[in-house]
A and B are shown apart, each in its own frame.
Chain A
Amino acid sequence: EADIYQTPRYLVIGTGKKITLECSQTMGHDKMYWYQQDPGMELHLIHYSYGVNSTEKGDLSSESTVSRIRTEHFPLTLESARPSHTSQYLCASSESASLTYEQYFGPGTRLTVT
């Protein structure tokens, strides 16, 4: 059982608000990821981190930002939410030393911007 948590699970917020989506893992994994999932199912990588103080942008351009000050914590921030940010956000982690490289996922945050 993977121990990766996301809060909140659901968020409805007005346009222009600043929001932070939290992601924490207790497995000591060095790599962490944020994905945005369309209603049509496809996953898009928006940010990733290979360790503390390392953050990179993913394949899909995003107005969000991330930080990695502690190994276990990888929050995602939107400075000014817009309706186009409405989506499901999934956080994942993996361990470089793993022989099989699999990613473990949190339960997701469903964000709605009105």
Chain B
Amino acid sequence: GEDVEQSLFLSVREGDSSVINCTYTDSSSTYLYWYKQEPGAGLQLLTYIFSNMDMKQDQRLTVLLNKKDKHLSLRIADTQTGDSAIYFCAESIEGYQFYFGTGTSLTVIP
């Protein structure tokens, strides 16, 4: 399968911005996604970006896509304790193949 890589852990102070990074290997990705998983729960779709876009903003979330470097990032502005969770990036190849990243555990320090 595809290698979708993320760093395992990130800690930030409440009120700071968080940036979670993801690298993928398939340049034919159609859509890229960010999911959030809270303890004991399933994955919740946060946002997605079409592969021909560079940036998408949705309230406190900003997604940046660098297709040349195959790099995706999620920025959370004004991070709150409720943002503590595991974040997964994922890529879809025309809807037939779907690959998840390894997950980043975000800890927000009060």
Contacts and interface: CB of A to CB of B under 8 A. Distances in A.
A100 B48 contact: yes
Interface in B31-81: 31, 33, 35, 40-45, 48, 50
Interface residues of B, number: 25
B18 to A, nearest CB: 17
Contacts of A33: 98
B40 A110 contact: yes
A101 B94 CA distance: 8
B45 A104 contact: yes
A interface secondary structure, majority: loop
B95 interface: yes
A111 B11 CA distance: 29
Which one of B30, B42, B86 has the highest number of Cβ atoms from chain A below 10 Å of its Cβ? B42
Contact of A105 (B1, B43, B92, B102): B43
B103 A42 contact: yes
A41 B48 contact: no
A102 B42 contact: no
Given A107-B42, A110-B40, A100 B102 contact: no
28 contacts: A33-B98, A41-B102, A41-B105, A42-B102, A42-B103, A43-B100, A43-B103, A59-B1, A92-B42, A92-B43, A94-B98, A100-B31, A100-B50, A101-B30, A101-B94, A101-B95, A101-B98, A102-B33, A102-B48, A103-B43, A103-B45, A103-B98, A105-B43, A106-B42, A107-B40, A107-B41, A108-B41, A110-B40
Interface of A: 4, 6, 33, 41-43, 59, 90, 92, 94, 96, 98, 100-108, 110
